[in-house]
Chain A
Amino acid sequence: MNHNRLARRALGAYTIVFYIALYGPMLVLALLSFNDSDITGLPFKGWTFRWYATAFSSRALMEALVNSFGVGVLAALAGTMLALLLALAFRRQIRFQGLIFNLVLLPVIIPGIVGGIVLLIFFGYLGIPPGLYTTVLLAHINWVLPFAFLTLYPRVHAFDRALEEAAMDLGARPLQVMRRVVLPVLAPALLATVMFSFTLSFDEFVRTLFVTGFDATVPIAFWNLVVLQLAPFLPAMAMIITVISIAASLLGFVFTRNSRAADPSHRIA
């Protein structure tokens, strides 16, 4: 009895410490973003929204946001599309299946800084001019693809092939089967993959730093601001970026859940 209660208390205390370690720094940052003080850091001198106003009026941040959204959306779409094709191909017996599978996942375990250097050398060798929609986009697709594949592969693998056979039996040619059955049924999983991929691209820093020329994505712009000036609006900016990332991921999780109970209200026109 006593022993049990003690164990439960210890577990409770551990849980509290665990969550503080996990979310404490984030909470401090959130607090600082509202701190009415010209110096970044404690003590807390009262509530204000002015740092958010400053952040949103910062040209550097706005440009970076536009850049990050552009690259993020394109990289997410391209990565998801490639991952889908790959996952579809993997449903058949193909040669060197295991090898290809591991090669696709390799970028996940390559250290970011090595990945950045490799990409820099690679693009230089090919003569691709550094820029947002050239080197950065390619680097992001490269980075996002394995994760998109890992998200999508189980869903595509679990897809009931009898559905495709039924569609074919009812007169649909392969492309019609894809458009009218496979894609609609996989739509929630595809949307989830796009959202997760976007988050990954949005947060990518090390590889981007190596391959971007003068264009700045959000993490790059943030880095520049931290290095050049420890501006008091940095916590507010950090909060904005975090909220965008979390929102995209949450949407992804919502779609993931929906893909388990496929949306019945959807109709083809």
Chain B
Amino acid sequence: MSLSPEPVAVSVRNVRKTFRGGVTALHDISLDVARGEFFSLLGPSGCGKTTLLRMIGGFEEPSAGDILIEGRSVLGVPPYARPTNMIFQNLALFPHLNVFENVAFALRIKKQSAAVISQRVEQALALVRLEGYASRPVEKLSGGQRQRVALARALVNDPPVLLLDEPLGALDLQLRLQMQQELRQLQRAVGATFIFVTHDQGEAMSMSDRIAVMDHGEIVQVGTPENIYNDPATRFVAAFIGSTNLLEGRISALDANSVKVDCAGMTILAAPQAAVQLGQPVTVALRYERLELRADGQVTGLVTDRSFLGNMVRLAIRLPTGLALYADIPAADATQVGVGADVTFGWAPGSPRLLAG
């Protein structure tokens, strides 16, 4: 018997989900989310991230495997008896209740006294900065305000685990960025574990302590945002997160310190990885922003397109071999570079990554 609190808030163990009709949404998923962590499930639509979240909330049952919350299995436990609360994709605010009654819902179910209810609802509304909105009908609120009501309604119970199903998807960009920040601050303030589902890699990167990248019902990689960005485990992760040149090639030389990959006539040096062999076909990932204009660069090519991104300029470059690459160059360095120009560029050693798959 351990006296210290369980450090794992949610543990997903070998969970599989097969829907009626035989469609498998999740294959053997295992995952530990630490207490107090802001954890994101990131992937394209249909990857199974929402199904996994709904299973943690109790809205779907796994076909196999186990889910533990705070160390206890919740298999067969209905949503109303789980220590989780959820922010739904469409928020699911009760249209027949005003802001106060929406937030008070869970407390009324628990038959709390009127004094306790009004005190806790006020606290929750203050937490999301909606003081003074208590008597407003919910459909008279703006998108951001509705978001906050949903948060207050879910947090009024002090759930140890909050599940968020793409709640920011419907907001416009400015508001979304603001809500991302607020969510992060809110999570630090209440100290709860947040499990956040999103298909937006930027959102996941900026908010999360750790991210699980999912594809086709499987977890492809779990790690910190830096870790996943800098060291994508697969071609899918590299392509899904950030902007990456994916170059097909063959290993042409191999020693203890480096691997030479021949990509359509261009030789790229990469750090060696275990279990690669001479002649093996591989993919090299090279982030757009890792390419830099340098007189002593490895490669020369022709600029075929140029788009201004604000702080960066994106150049499309065609090499004499026919290979096309993209480079994101700091805007200040690219003022003289236009379409039709010949550019010499290179990259720092360690930038190219060898990928499996």
Contacts and interface: CB of A to CB of B under 8 A. Distances in A.
Q: Do A and B come from one complex?
A: yes
Interface of A: 160, 162-163, 165-173, 176, 180-181, 184-185, 187, 261-268
A165 B94 contact: no
11 contacts: A162-B90, A163-B95, A165-B92, A166-B92, A167-B105, A170-B105, A170-B157, A171-B106, A173-B80, A176-B109, A180-B109
Report whether over half of chain B's contact residues are helix, strand or loop; otherwise say mixed. Answer: mixed
Nearest to A161: B92
Contacts of B105: 167, 170, 172, 180
Contact of A171 (B57, B80, B97): B80
B138 A171 contact: no
Contacts of B147: none
Contacts of B86: 165-166, 169
B99 to A, nearest CB: 10
A165 B79 contact: yes
B103 to A, nearest CB: 10
Contacts of B137: 264-265
B262 to A, nearest CB: 53
A22 B346 CA distance: 84
**Which 3 pairs between the two chains have the least Cβ-Cβ distance?**
A264-B137, A162-B92, A166-B92
A172 B84 CA distance: 13
Nearest to A267: B101
A268 B101 contact: yes
Interface centre among A160, A170, A266 (most CB of B within 10 A): A170
Given A166-B94, A268-B97, 13 more contacts: A160-B92, A166-B86, A166-B93, A168-B78, A169-B57, A170-B80, A170-B85, A170-B105, A170-B109, A180-B109, A181-B94, A263-B96, A266-B97
Interface in B100-115: 101, 105-106, 108-110
Contact of B108 (A169, A173, A262, A268): A268
A180 B80 CA distance: 14
A67 to B, nearest CB: 36
A268 B105 CA distance: 9
Interface string B113-138: 00000000000000000000000011
Given A176-B109, A264-B140, A265-B137, A165 B96 contact: no
B274 to A, nearest CB: 45
Contact of B98 (A162, A171, A261, A264): A264
B199 interface: no
Nearest to A269: B108
A172 B85 CA distance: 12
A264 B95 contact: yes
B353 interface: no
A163 B89 CA distance: 11
A111 to B, nearest CB: 42
A180 B93 CA distance: 13
Contacts of A160: 90, 92
Nearest to B81: A171
A169 B80 contact: yes
B287 interface: no
A187 B80 CA distance: 24
Nearest to B90: A162
Nearest to B57: A169
Please indicate which of the listed interface residues A165, A171, A172, A262 has the most CB atoms of chain B within 10 Å of its own CB.
Answer: A171
Contacts of B98: 264, 267
A262 B140 CA distance: 12
Given A165-B79, A169-B80, A173-B80, A267 B97 contact: yes
Given A170-B153, A184-B96, A165 B109 contact: no
Contact of B80 (A162, A172, A267, A268): A172
Nearest to A185: B96
B92 A163 contact: yes
Contacts of B59: 165
A6 B139 CA distance: 49
B95 A185 contact: yes
Contacts of A184: 96
Given A264-B140, A267-B101, A268-B101, A169 B95 contact: no
A163 B96 CA distance: 11
A262 B101 CA distance: 15
Nearest to A173: B80
Contacts of A162: 88-90, 92
Contacts of A263: 96
B224 to A, nearest CB: 29
Contact of B96 (A166, A168, A170, A266): A266
A168 B79 contact: yes
Given A163-B92, A170-B109, A181-B94, A264 B157 contact: no
Contacts of A267: 97-98, 101
Contacts of B80: 168-173
B109 A172 contact: yes
A266 B95 CA distance: 9
Which one of B94, B140, B154 has the greatest number of beta carbons of chain A within 10 Å?
B94
Contacts of A266: 96-97
Given A166-B86, A268-B101, A262 B78 contact: no
A190 to B, nearest CB: 13
Contacts of A173: 80
Interface in B137-164: 137-140, 153-154, 157
Contacts of B95: 163, 185, 262, 264
Nearest to B54: A165
Contacts of A163: 92, 94-95
A160 B90 CA distance: 10
Given A170-B109, A176-B109, A264 B88 contact: no
